[in-house]
Amino acid sequence: MVKEAKVTKRPPITSSERRKRLMSRRFDKMKVSGTKADGVVYIGHIPKGFNEDELRKFFEQFGPISKLIVARSKTTARPKGYAFI
């Protein structure tokens, strides 16, 4: 004697529910687990008087900085107005 499994039908999923599920899956993949990961931060529209020392002092309050690069013009060596940390 073979028992038949009960099949329960789910109500249809609306497009907004489908979108929410898709977005939650995407954000779950983007979450950083307990590991410490280094990254690069772009900083744009830096004022002309804001130099490397001031940038380092400002951003060290958020965590240690391993490298700081301010983009400079090849001909004049003046800052271009953006940096990478």
Tell me how far apart the alpha carbons of residues 69 and 58 are, in angstroms, rounded to a whole number: 14
pLDDT, tens digit only, all 85 positions of the chain: 667 777 777 777 788 888 888 788 777 776 666 666 678 899 999 998 888 999 999 999 988 899 999 999 999 999 999 999 9
Delimit the domains of the chain by residue range. Answer: 38-85
- The CATH architecture assigned to 38-85 reads 2-Layer Sandwich (3.30)
Output the CA–CA distances (angstroms, integers) from residue 24 to 10, 14, 19, 21, in the order listed. 20, 16, 9, 5
> For 38-80, what is the HEC assignment?
CCCCEECCCCCCCCHHHHHHHHCCCCCCCCCEEEECCCCCCEE
Task: Say whether pTM exceeds 0.85.
Answer: no
